[in-house]
Amino acid sequence: MNTNEIVAIENEHASGTYAKQQFAIVRGQGALLYDADGKEYLDCSSGHGVANLGHAHPKVAEAIYKQANTLITLFESFPNDQRALLMKKITSLVDGLDRVFLCNSGTESVEAAFKFARISTGRKNIVAAMRAFHGRTYGSLSATYNKKYREGFEPLVPGFSHVAYNNIEALDKAVNEETAAVILEMVQGEGGVYPATIEYVQAARRICDERGALLIVDEIQTGFGRTGKFFAIEHFGITPDLLCCAKSLAGGVPMGALLIGKNVKNLVPGIHGSTFGGNPLSCAAANAALDVITEEDLPRQSEEKGKYLMEKLKAIQSPNIREIRGLGLMVGIEMKQKVAPYIKALQEANIIALNAGMTVIRLLPPLVITYEQLDHLVDALTEVLAMTMDDGQ
Ligand SMILES: *Cc1c(COP(=O)(O)O)cnc(C)c1O
């Protein structure tokens, strides 16, 4: 099938819940993607932060192939070699988080965190941040702030409230003896690429401890090297009680995980579960992916490349740029105008970038992106960001 045929079929039969691009990607390699007609794109989206290792990493591919020929599915009631290995590896990543609940996506890890927080504390309320994005199923949607995701789906889950991000006073006022948990991103991704301040994150830890609430950190986008550390919490010197991961965990294969600390209680058989959770195929992919992250020292690569990219971006002189911010290879370029035309112009230069809200261009390239590719990205951005776009207003 060529690009036009593929696009036509999807336009006819897809649910309609996605704004579809009008070209079809059929192959990837490292930081590059190829459409059905062989055209090459530089991927600066990584599927919203899934492809940290790059596309079609040979070690992940080999692990999937091997495991597919061995055992694909097994309910978590039955212990398994790949799952045991993954549990050992993933709980060794953060001191104090020694248990893990395995699932299949980001939103599922957030749902598990909320259920565990309620059952553990006997309290109902969850405090989230304005601009937060935690997923689209009912619990995680209730913690997500933007009304664009929420409107039309009410009633949402009771007990959720939102306070200004990076505002210690607001958090201090909102958390009390009825709060089961506070949930935070260390860098708000979807919300516009806003890093937390160290003071704020440390205050959140202290406030939760004082009031007997649990601290949930959502590292679904920031995890696995994205921000220049294995987990973004390492920038802030805290350990949450529950840490949500997914996206890049299994090298692109669907998988979520919730890391669990000692303050989380009452997790007994039957209270939660998932048919596909902890399946040997995803576990084998994740084992390979975690090995690659360590072997290729992707957190350090992300830190160094992030610094390089940020310096070059900050040198771009354009009256259209309001601010450039980020951490590691999670970078936001806030424009004074809507960014849709800029993202379209980048696409015409064969670069796939994301937005984060109306006015922020978000760059989440695979961490294996080369310096040559970064230079190419900067050249394209220098040209595109200089343009003042007619955004139809
Ligand atoms: C992507 C994302 C989610 C949701 O993950 P899904 O796998 O799409 O359910 C939740 N939180 C953050 C911070 C994310 O970036």
**Which of 244, 264, 295 is the last residue in one of the domains?**
295
**Which of 295, 318, 337 is the last residue in one of the domains?**
295
* Whether residue 7 sits in one domain with residue 126: no
CATH label of the domain that carries residue 183? 3.40.640.10
* Whether residue 49 sits in one domain with residue 62: no
pLDDT digits (tens, 9 = 90+) for 346-368: 999 999 999 999 999 999 999 99
Q: Which residue has the higher pLDDT, 323 or 392?
A: 323
In a domain, 391, yes or no: no
Mean pLDDT of 308-319: 96
Residue 389 pLDDT class (50, 70, 90 cuts) = confident
Question: How many other CB atoms are found less than 10 A from the CB of residue 154?
Answer: 8
pLDDT digits (tens, 9 = 90+) for 156-178: 999 999 999 999 999 999 999 99
**Which of 295, 320, 349 is the last residue in one of the domains?**
295
Name the residue of 133, 144, 183 to mutate for ligand 1: max ligand atoms within 8 A of Cβ: 133
Cβ of 246 below 6 Å from ligand 1: yes
pLDDT digits (tens, 9 = 90+) for 34-76: 999 999 999 999 999 999 999 999 999 999 999 999 999 999 9
In a domain, 224, yes or no: yes
> 135 CA distance to ligand 1 centroid (A)?
5
Cβ distance 216 to 244 under 8 Å? yes
Q: Which two tokens stand for residue 233?
A: 């919490």
Q: Which two tokens stand for residue 97?
A: 């988080």
- Write the Ramachandran bin of 52: left for phi over 0, alpha for psi from -120 to 50, otherwise beta: alpha
CATH label of the domain that carries residue 11? 3.90.1150.10
Structural domain tally of the chain? 2
Cβ of 187 below 6 Å from ligand 1: no
> 246 CA distance to ligand 1 centroid (A)?
7
Which residue's structure tokens are 């600066």? Answer: 44
* Whether residue 166 sits in one domain with residue 25: no
Percent of the chain with pLDDT over 70: 99
Cβ distance 87 to 282 under 8 Å? no
Atom of ligand 1 nearest to the CA of 107: 9
* Whether residue 273 sits in one domain with residue 247: yes
In a domain, 392, yes or no: no
* Whether residue 157 sits in one domain with residue 28: no
Name the residue of 146, 185, 221, 226 to mutate for ligand 1: max ligand atoms within 8 A of Cβ: 221
User: Is the confidence at residue 391, as pLDDT, over 70?
Assistant: no
* Whether residue 316 sits in one domain with residue 228: no
Atom of ligand 1 nearest to the CA of 140: 10
Domain range enclosing 268: 58-295
Model-level pTM?
0.98
CA distance 292 to 144: 32
* Whether residue 380 sits in one domain with residue 291: no
> 257 CA distance to ligand 1 centroid (A)?
12
